[in-house]
Structure 1
């Protein structure tokens, strides 16, 4: 291998390290002896070795690989290394052996108690580390880099998150009272966070909450998710297996991170997209992390019902779709919108059978500010067409329809479709104009990456 030798960033699709191992134990039958327990460790390592990381440098082109200093693709930092890092944090700490045993038993569902098999907790973890060490060695020695060379993220330092992890453990103590996790477990987790590793303590806390099916309300869940994101955990690590008391679906709540509804459906269109039932279902079932199940279908259905109930002609609806999606297929008329509505209802019947679809009143107070932005853009696209080489659609026609959506249907939907049209036409934006779009998005309550999806257009010309 030539060039700069550094491991590339690996992100897991679920839990990992010691907490990931305890999950494997919690889901498995209780091992009959130490050999069987170590066999489960090996099976867990094998399973993760076969899993593909979410961010793989092999997906980068030659230019990006050169930029980041890589010339080959291989997994230099695997699950075994992450597990060893967690194990070492506990074994090398001043924690009492009983403390380590307590958190292990709580997180693993008490499937394997090392003391019952003549092992101290530290001896058990040393066996785990030896099993990891027997795996094929990495080609490049040394610790994981402090930040992701591709995405720029770095895990937080212990002192940056320790107090927040301790606060969640103490909140759990107050919230669950006499219910599990036990007071001894929570005390042990506090000690892990304070003297060994806040990161390990946080993931083991999540495992204990899941093992004991602790009911988590939405505000608590949101805090856990926010803390998890600071650790750069994968989306879903908190939510998967957690017993969450989801609030009722509310189409007025804008808690999707990205685009949503009919504009989100347009965003999903691509060159081979045909508007089929299956493709629509993928979007309708695409609830964001932290969203009540069925929310994506509910907001898509509401947008669709608004369009179906409007005075726009079938041709106008198809033109609007073409402009927002950039993939003209002459879908978008009422027959196709009825298919979209049917798919949304099917998804809601499955995910939220108690939900009754409603069309909330349009936020008309936004109309003037959204119209102003659309009209300022009209001169810049007057001579453009959507998809000029396939079924060209005059951009002016699309902009006229956007104004009608804003004034006659829903300014929120009109603004979302406007953002999609900007992206489709690659309209250059000034920083000032983009900042105004951000302000509108914040006023409506859009998610973190909704408006920023068009930030690449700033000074694109």
Structure 2
């Protein structure tokens, strides 16, 4: 039997198959056979009944593997946090799996894949997957054994859990082994280092899993928050906040919009990564000599009037205080030990940013932000961004300048675009920040 790989994220929002069943039982209180069968029915019913495909496949792989009952029982008990042991109900693990197999036999999928998404990585061979899963089990084994021993479970499980997981990944099915491994890490709150987490997320991507299958409930040992880093995957801080308000389909309230943006941490980032630089940008502007009117004009311009704070009776400084307050709330929630800090201003790059703005001024000055409604002259927007560069922070000023180019749809030669990318590299931006904001404006010289 060979598993037909799918882009599982098309079908499921989180875990699926036997590992999802183990998760349900791990969170239950003393489940009996009837409850366990009811949980199995819920897993099978997922995605309009397609959940039965993965459940049946997982069960069949384990039954056909030839692995001894003791090995399968070790993995099962660990995955269910010892909440459901078939031996308590007069059967061994093989007997329990056979009962499930009668209800959910292995069968092909009925629901077709969504055609516009590519299939899982065809180069990711079964042997490569086996090696990757076994390597991750071995990497986590010392911490897993320590956690089980400290919890009192180490003496009750009938075989070492890491060995059982290796056997399942090697002799039964790599994907079943991976998902049971993740379920065990979560069930026992085993600490997972950031590097291993990144490797697990790479497996997630190659296998087409829904992202939460890996990270939801995993005890990730995140790196400390560092708002001075500029190499995240895209834009950040007030510049990305302005872009979000410019593109909201259903306009949220001021606070709701900021709160939403403050939670937009990438799955690879320490919780609070979005809020920390947003707070830093707001703090810098609040502690600058820029007037409330200038700050109001600045926001309205770079957000393309995505939130009309002037029409809501909110001046620029009050708006920035609201942003800072919301960010501090978010940081207290997800990183209570973190004290917001503001790094040094990169003054060495002030002049290159001002030169970039000067070169673009003729194009910007002839345009109007939101020309159809309460327009803002391009010259006023340029002046506000220039004040940010000169009196607050050239880094923030440069990101807002890029936003202004985007808002006003200024055509860019490939040479000028290359210069903007080079300046972004000097600030340490991630490779996608400048392209994401302005690459679509370029044309051949």
TM-score by length of 1: 0.79
Report the CA distance between 1:457 and its aligned residue.
Answer: 0.7
Whether 1:285 and 2:263 are equivalent positions in the alignment is yes
Q: Does structure 2 retain, via aligned residues, the 8 Å contact 1:158–1:199?
A: no
Q: Tell me, which stretches of 5 or more residues in structure 1 are unaligned?
A: 1-5, 50-74
User: What secondary structure sits across from 2:116 in the alignment?
Assistant: coil
Whether 1:42 and 2:20 are equivalent positions in the alignment is no
Q: Does structure 2 retain, via aligned residues, the 8 Å contact 1:100–1:188?
A: yes
Corresponding residue number in structure 1 for 2:86 = 114
Q: 1:44 to 1:326 in 2, by over 3 A?
A: same
Corresponding residue number in structure 2 for 1:29 = 29
User: What secondary structure sits across from 1:350 in the alignment?
Assistant: helix
2:217 counterpart (229, 236, 241): 241
Report the CA distance between 1:113 and its aligned residue.
Answer: 2.3
Measured in 2, the distance between the counterparts of 1:214 and 1:447 equals 31
Q: Does structure 1 retain, via aligned residues, the 8 Å contact 2:369–2:408?
A: yes
User: What secondary structure sits across from 2:213 in the alignment?
Assistant: coil
Measured in 2, the distance between the counterparts of 1:332 and 1:456 equals 32
Q: Deviations over 1:105-153 (max 9, x none)?
A: 2212122223443444344334334434599x9655xxx65xx632335
Corresponding residue number in structure 2 for 1:295 = 273
**Corresponding pairs, count:** 422
Q: 1:371 to 1:40 in 2, by over 3 A?
A: same
Aligned positions of 1:9-158 closer than 5 A = 10-33=10-33, 35-46=34-45, 48-49=46-47, 78-132=50-104, 149-152=115-118, 154-155=120-121, 156-158=124-126
Report the CA distance between 1:361 and its aligned residue.
Answer: 0.6
Q: 1:421 to 1:197 in 2, by over 3 A?
A: farther
Q: Does structure 1 retain, via aligned residues, the 8 Å contact 2:237–2:274?
A: yes
User: What secondary structure sits across from 1:180 in the alignment?
Assistant: helix
Q: Does structure 2 retain, via aligned residues, the 8 Å contact 1:42–1:131?
A: no
Q: Does structure 1 retain, via aligned residues, the 8 Å contact 2:286–2:317?
A: yes
Report the CA distance between 1:260 and its aligned residue.
Answer: 2.3
Q: Does structure 2 retain, via aligned residues, the 8 Å contact 1:281–1:344?
A: yes
Report the CA distance between 1:171 and its aligned residue.
Answer: 1.0
TM-score by length of 2: 0.81
Corresponding residue number in structure 2 for 1:414 = 397
Q: 1:320 to 1:271 in 2, by over 3 A?
A: farther
Corresponding residue number in structure 2 for 1:58 = none
Report the CA distance between 1:392 and its aligned residue.
Answer: 1.3
Measured in 2, the distance between the counterparts of 1:439 and 1:15 equals 42
Q: Deviations over 1:301-356 (max 9, x none)?
A: 11101111222222221222122211251356112212222222333333333333
Measured in 2, the distance between the counterparts of 1:26 and 1:97 equals 20
Report the CA distance between 1:248 and its aligned residue.
Answer: 3.4
User: What secondary structure sits across from 1:315 in the alignment?
Assistant: helix
Superposed CA RMSD in Å reads: 3.4
Q: Tell me, which stretches of 5 or more residues in structure 2 are unaligned?
A: 1-5
Corresponding residue number in structure 2 for 1:163 = 131
Measured in 2, the distance between the counterparts of 1:96 and 1:437 equals 62
Q: Does structure 2 retain, via aligned residues, the 8 Å contact 1:11–1:233?
A: no
Measured in 2, the distance between the counterparts of 1:326 and 1:224 equals 39
Measured in 1, the distance between the counterparts of 2:415 and 2:175 equals 40
Measured in 1, the distance between the counterparts of 2:427 and 2:131 equals 33
1:401 counterpart (354, 359, 384): 384
Measured in 1, the distance between the counterparts of 2:119 and 2:406 equals 27
Q: Does structure 2 retain, via aligned residues, the 8 Å contact 1:319–1:332?
A: no
Select between 279-288 and 445-454 the one with higher mean Cα deviation.
445-454
Q: 1:139 to 1:285 in 2, by over 3 A?
A: closer
